[in-house]
Amino acid sequence: MYNGATANTKGSTMHYLRGHTKFVESTVFSPDGSRLASTGADGTLRLWSPATGEMLISCSLPEQGGSVAFSPDGERLAVGTYDGHVRIYDLAGREQQSWEGQGRITGVRFSPAGDRLAWCGYSGCGIVSVRSKTKPRSFRDQGMVFALAFSPDSQTLATVGPGDSMTLRKVSSLEVKQQLTHGARPGCWNVAFTPDGATLVLALGDGVQFWDVAKGELRQLLQDHQEIVSGLAISADAQRLATCSWDKTILLYGLEGGVPRRLASYDWQIGRLHDVALSPDGMIAAAAGEGDSSLVVWDLE
């Protein structure tokens, strides 16, 4: 049964998704956009229908959930938890595989090819083949790592953290390809490649940066948020970018021609925001925050 509220605000149909009993830390749409997954400080993984707001499953995690990701085929969910473990669940909430990571896990990602799973945390990073029983390979950047992202061709892995730089590695060997200095304090909180792999977008303590991957050069800086930019999401069609911040707002940009153009701003009154997600077609958004333990999903104008 749907336990939430629905409203029409500025043309957007919005649902508050009630269920988590503490703040929601991570949220992501399935590859086909039919489901929304979330993890929270209450130690649960939940699966929702973004169309109706109905909670489809809820399962208990051994610890607080720090990050959640769908597999490219949409059949599995990877969850990183604060007890230092990474687990794969099926869509019924049954655990399928697990690995011990490095300290508190802050990010998990499947490769677009679907053959690898990578994670990062307070004490290092790991990557493993999900199609074999080989042991994970570990690697470390300087200090803790907040987030990571695979390139669309699954050949490069970008990692970011509280320092003033990001690292790009070859997935095959974990050799460092590039280390680029973004210079922001207090560091970078999230990172994503554009669908063509040409641009890296960084969510920073002082704004949003766009980097030319081939040239290793900063192309553009946005400074529209008033506090730390905690999350970002790019639609699969590369037409929209959403960012969220500790200033409690979500900003939506159009990316026609690769140039960001601000389209809308949202404040759903759920407090400081931790994550934002876009459906593959860029027509639905979700945001995870602290206020009233809420997750919000809405249709974009």
Residue 57 has a CB neighbour count (10 Å cut-off) of 18
Contact (Cβ atoms closer than 8 angstroms) between residue 237 and residue 261: no
pLDDT at residue number 142? 67
Q: Rounded CA gap, 118 and 81, in Å?
A: 14
CA distance 210 to 212: 7
Distances (CA, A) of 213 to 161, 162, 170, 194, 236: 18, 21, 14, 10, 18
Do residues 238 and 212 make contact, with C-beta atoms less than 8 angstroms apart?
A: no
Instruction: Round to whole Å and give the CA distance between 28 and 260.
Output: 22
Q: Which of 28, 115, 41 is nearest to 68 (CA)?
A: 28
Q: Is the dihedral of CA 274, 153, 222, 265 positive or negative?
A: negative
- Alpha carbon distances (Å) from 44 to 39, 40, 47, 65, 226: 6, 6, 10, 7, 31
pLDDT of residue 206: 85
Per-residue confidence (pLDDT) for residue 282, from 0 to 100: 93
Task: Determine the distance from the C-alpha atom of residue 266 to the mean position of all C-alpha atoms in its chain, rounded to a whole number.
Answer: 19
79 forms beta bridges with 68, 87
Mean pLDDT per 10-residue segment, the chain (301 residues): 41 82 95 96 94 93 90 97 94 93 89 96 92 86 88 97 94 94 90 96 95 96 96 95 97 90 94 96 94 86 72
Task: For residues 125 and 119, give the distance between their C-alpha atoms in angstroms, rounded to a whole number.
Answer: 6
Is cis: bond before 186, omega within 30 of 0? yes
Q: Is residue 202 within 8 Å of 223, Cβ to Cβ?
A: no
pLDDT of residue 2: 36
Domain boundaries, the chain: 4-229
3-state DSSP assignment of residue 293: helix
| H/E element, 159 | strand 156-160
Q: What's the CA gap between 301 and 284, in Å, rounded?
A: 9
Identify whether the C-beta of residue 118 lies closer than 8 Å to the C-beta of residue 109: yes
Write the DSSP symbol of residue 256: G
Phi-psi region of 155 (alpha: psi -120 to 50; beta: other; left: phi over 0): alpha
Domain 4-229 = CATH 2.30.42.10:
no
